[in-house]
A and B are shown apart, each in its own frame.
Chain A
Amino acid sequence: MAEDFLRLAQRGDEAAITQLVETYQRPVFNLCYRMLGEPAEAEDAAQEALIKAITNLHSYDPERPFKPWLLRIASNECIDRIRRRKDSVSLDAMGEDGAWEWTPGDSPNPESKFLSEERQLQVRRMLDNLSPADRMVITLFYWEGMPYTEIEAVTGLSVSAIKSRLFRARRTMAELLVQEETYA
């Protein structure tokens, strides 16, 4: 991203702002959707993140890449939203209103659809048991397919801290699976 281009956006040049939004809306929206699980909330979060980023371009260091900086703002926005809704979220509403859709399999018969919904619920339950920061690391690692160095750039955590968080999150998820199997 050319420095001049960002400077134009900072000065309020509408064409530059539009270009910036068009370039980065997809990765920001994807991250928000995967973090929050609901398209409407993801849209709000993505919009808020882009607004915050572009109206605060003066705090961006042009020596560093722009995308991780932007994704960090988006991830913080998602973490805040998860914290706010933590007590009010209902597991009953999961899977409705277009919440989290997986790539359809080869045979979308009723049985596989049921299994897919079950899997969604299971993943959601697991993620809801993680702290927002651990959830962010898990999302970036598994669903955004980022290596440790990229996660480091987005979250600001050191690689060892990321590994530690990943470990903790995976252990929590594994324990939940064991518990579920025990109760089943």
Chain B
Amino acid sequence: MREDLQIPLPDMHSEAWWMRLMDDDLSPREEQLWQAHLEACESCRREWAAWIQADALMRVVPTPPPVPEGFTTRTVQQIVQKQRLRRLLTFLAGALIVAAVSLIVFSFVGSAYASLERGLGAVISARQVLFRSLVQTLVSLLLRWKTLLPFVVGTMLCAYVLAMPNGLIVTMGLVWLSRRRQLVTAAVQ
């Protein structure tokens, strides 16, 4: 009895008490107190009955039907399409940015192409610089992401083609010439 007097009675109308009730978190002594309270308190008795009823209703689980036929195929198709579209849009966005930057750069350095010799010199020099930076960028990206993303390769090639069309022709020409030279050398030997 003395022990009971020392423990303060919990507020059985509080949210905290009801939360503990629903979690089945009462000690045997608290359970006794609660039962005694229920006998005395009409509103708590009614509310508690409704809580138990709602709880029982919710404990009957609706059984879902099987996953519809063809669900997997349809979903996978849509995902693949969406991923492709996203990649294409990213590529186009990258290409647009590169084209815009190239235009700006050309409008500033256009005077370098005023004479043929200076132009040729600029083309060859720029081709070498650009090609080296392209390779370096690709290698560093490869090391960083451990992947050869089509977006990265596409953007870099785009930059190369858009920024240096003459350089590309020169490169292809040089490659063609060196192959011819190898063939001729081999034939002579």
Contacts and interface: CB of A to CB of B under 8 A. Distances in A.
Interface of A: 11-12, 14, 17-18, 21-22, 25-26, 29-30, 33-34, 37, 39, 42-43, 46-47, 50-51, 54-55, 98, 100-103, 119-120, 122-123, 126, 138, 142-143, 163-164, 166-167, 170-171, 173-178, 181
Interface of B: 15, 18-19, 22-23, 46-47, 50-51, 53-55, 57-65, 67-68, 71-72, 74-76, 78-80, 82-84, 86-87, 147
Given A55-B79, A103-B61, A177 B72 contact: no
Contacts of B84: 12
7 contacts: A14-B76, A47-B71, A55-B82, A55-B83, A119-B60, A166-B22, A178-B50
B71 A167 contact: no
Nearest to A178: B50
Contacts of A164: 15, 19
Contacts of A170: 22, 51, 54-55
Contact of B79 (A39, A50, A177): A50
A96 to B, nearest CB: 14
B53 A177 contact: yes
Contact of B75 (A21, A42, A166, A171): A21
